[in-house]
């Protein structure tokens, strides 16, 4: 392939990271200076982006990544220790610890033994998931932006667009949702939308006249957003050359797809830094808890960082609802769809949609990577 195409094409086959809006909670200011081992475990570019977008020092960003890595391990052990009492969990940036909600205080000692902090709540995650499933069966009007299980409030949080909160259909939906289980209503500035775009410049992939961002490399291809193309649709790279075809695609209900790679293109376990930060190696797909930092890269807005706000959210796009999404404080813009979300060196998911932009801020949802891999029987390409 042409120009510095050897590097650029190979990197184009890896997913792009996305931006999380600033304003996330920061670590305590007295974070210890990072050791050589700490620095080696994190990409300099990732640290730089976290400093810029989360207002952290180098030491704070390094300490936070280290604490979040530990929290992923603690989360699995704590859920087992809590048993049926488990009410969900989230990462608390201020303390650097995972907080675990339980409904039975008799489980407190066992959960604390895993290294987690414990708080008592009214409803278990199983109860909240059941309420979520009942709400998923309702038809939502356009004034409802989405809903998700929230461990902190021990409820299902339903988001309504501020300008439409008094709409009769919105009010009727909220009333039916409350009948399904514990519900908390919040307001959002705008309704979510997908982030596909018409063909413009950049380092994207194209299908028809749609531009999206390439997803995480898997063996044999890459994953991306389902709304970017239908099965068998042809895909062209940033230089216009043929890459492959959509082998599977689902949207709405889900928002994921995968594309095979050939014709001189190949896959690498890398997320592009776009010359702003160093490229990031992908080493796994351990899921970050709510409250953890996350970064995104896309062909329009490139690198940004922020935090995970919620998991298992149903997002109500105009094309239909998409389930089991992860909500972040990330901005994104048209053309970023399909790009990668990453936490530390762990792949998180592919960009689906959101609201706002990267000048004024906003929120963005991603489809979790492990669900995509399991659905299509794919293996993530890791370093």
Active-site amino acid positions: 227, 255, 337
d(CA 139, CA 295) in angstroms, rounded, equals 32
What token pair was written down for 84? 């049926």
DSSP secondary structure, 350-381, as one string: EEEEEEEETTTEEEEEEEEHHHHHHHHT--B-
**244 close to 236: Cβ distance less than 8 angstroms:** no
Burial class (CB in 10 A: 0-12, 13-18, 19+), 36: exposed
d(CA 366, CA 354) in angstroms, rounded, equals 9
Sign of CA dihedral 298, 300, 303, 305: negative
* Residues 6 or more apart whose Cβ sits within 8 Å of residue 23: 329
Compute CA distances 78 → 75, 85, 140, 166, 205, whole Å.
Answer: 5, 11, 35, 41, 41
d(CA 105, CA 261) in angstroms, rounded, equals 52
């Amino acid at each position: 392939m042409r120009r510095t195409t050897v590097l650029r094409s190979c990197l184009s086959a890896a997913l792009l990271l996305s931006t999380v809006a600033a304003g996330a909670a920061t670590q305590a200011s007295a974070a210890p200076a990072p050791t050589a081992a700490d620095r080696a475990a994190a990409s300099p570019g990732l640290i730089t982006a976290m400093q810029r977008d989360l207002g952290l020092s180098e030491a704070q960003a390094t300490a936070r990544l280290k604490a979040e890595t530990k929290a992923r391990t603690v989360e699995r052990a704590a859920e087992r220790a809590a048993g049926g009492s488990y009410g969900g969990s989230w990462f608390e940036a201020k303390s650097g610890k995972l907080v675990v909600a339980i409904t039975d205080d008799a489980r407190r000692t066992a959960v604390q033994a895993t290294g987690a902090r414990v708080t008592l709540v009214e409803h278990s995650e199983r109860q909240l998931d059941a309420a979520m499933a009942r709400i998923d069966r309702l038809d939502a009007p356009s004034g409802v932006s989405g809903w998700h299980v929230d461990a902190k409030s021990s409820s299902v949080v339903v988001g309504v667009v501020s300008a439409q909160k008094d709409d009769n259909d919105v009010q009727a939906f909220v009333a039916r949702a409350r009948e399904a289980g514990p519900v908390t209503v919040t307001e959002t500035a705008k309704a979510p939308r997908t982030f596909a775009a018409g063909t413009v410049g950049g380092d994207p992939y194209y299908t028809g006249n749609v531009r999206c961002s390439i997803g995480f490399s898997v063996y044999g291809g890459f994953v991306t957003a389902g709304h970017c193309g239908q099965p068998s649709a042809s895909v062209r790279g940033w230089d216009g050359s043929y890459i492959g075809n959509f082998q599977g695609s689902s949207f709405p209900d889900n928002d994921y797809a995968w594309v095979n790679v050939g014709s001189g293109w190949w896959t690498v376990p890398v997320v592009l830094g776009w010359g702003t930060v160093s490229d990031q190696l992908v080493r796994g797909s351990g899921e970050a808890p709510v409250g953890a930092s996350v970064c995104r890269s896309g062909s329009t807005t490139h690198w940004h960082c922020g935090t995970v706000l919620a998991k298992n959210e149903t997002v109500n796009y105009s094309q239909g609802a998409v389930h089991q999404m992860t909500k972040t404080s990330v901005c994104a813009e048209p053309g970023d769809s399909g790009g990668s979300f990453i936490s530390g060196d762990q792949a998180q998911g592919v960009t689906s949609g959101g609201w706002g932009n990267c000048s004024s801020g906003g929120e963005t949802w991603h489809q979790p990577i492990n669900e995509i891999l399991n659905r299509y029987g794919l293996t993530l390409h890791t370093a």
